[in-house]
Amino acid sequence: MKRLTMIFFLAVGLFQFGFSQTSTPNSFLDFKLGTKLTDFLTNNTDAKEGSFWVLHTDISAKGMTVYTVHRTTSSGDKVQIDCCFYNDILSIISVEYSGWQSGKDLLDALKSKYGAYTSYDAYEWKDFMNGQYRTTETVYWKKTTCILNFLYTKELGLAELVFADKTVQQKLEAEKQNSNSKKIE
């Protein structure tokens, strides 16, 4: 009986462990951080040279080569994906949804997949098109090897996901700090 009880608790523990684990935020659809540029171009013949610019984020693409592709998610949402390459390695995946999105639904899905977020901030800005003030919420998941940034503007239904290689971001930040310190020396 003791043996059966021990096996039962071991099985329950393994079951809970397997379902309580969270994923690493390093990929979206078939795009994964760390992919070589040559492999990316071979597999994405529709990729066009693009640019990367996201408001309200610390993630930098300075000096990176950027390619843009358009895809459809399994839920039918159309997305523009900007893939940024640092030294010919995919280091940022930026996903911009083209239609109105529910920030709560996306945030719930992200928390379910990646666990609790690391930090949250909100930025208020004036929409130059109509003079109204908008709020963009920014949520970060900072893991050991990568960063996920979710940006959402409720009033407009705008949503963007930015997956970034943490080591590359640390290198770019160090270069920026070094450059900035030279301005005051």
Distances (CA, A) of 80 to 16, 22, 52, 71, 137: 36, 25, 11, 7, 20
Q: What ranges do the domains of the chain cover? A: 2-182
How many Å apart are CA 55 and CA 156, to the nearest integer?
15
Which candidate, 90, 86, 71, places its Cα nearest to that of 32?
90
Give the number of other Cβ atoms within 10 Å of residue 88's Cβ. 12
State CA 85 to chain mean position distance. 15
- The candidate with the shortest Cα–Cα distance to 147, out of 123, 179, 172, 125, is 172
pLDDT in tens, the chain (185 residues): 444 333 333 333 333 334 445 789 999 999 999 999 999 999 999 999 998 887 778 899 999 999 999 999 999 999 999 999 999 999 999 999 998 999 999 999 999 999 999 999 998 999 888 999 999 999 999 999 999 999 999 888 899 999 999 999 999 999 999 988 888 88
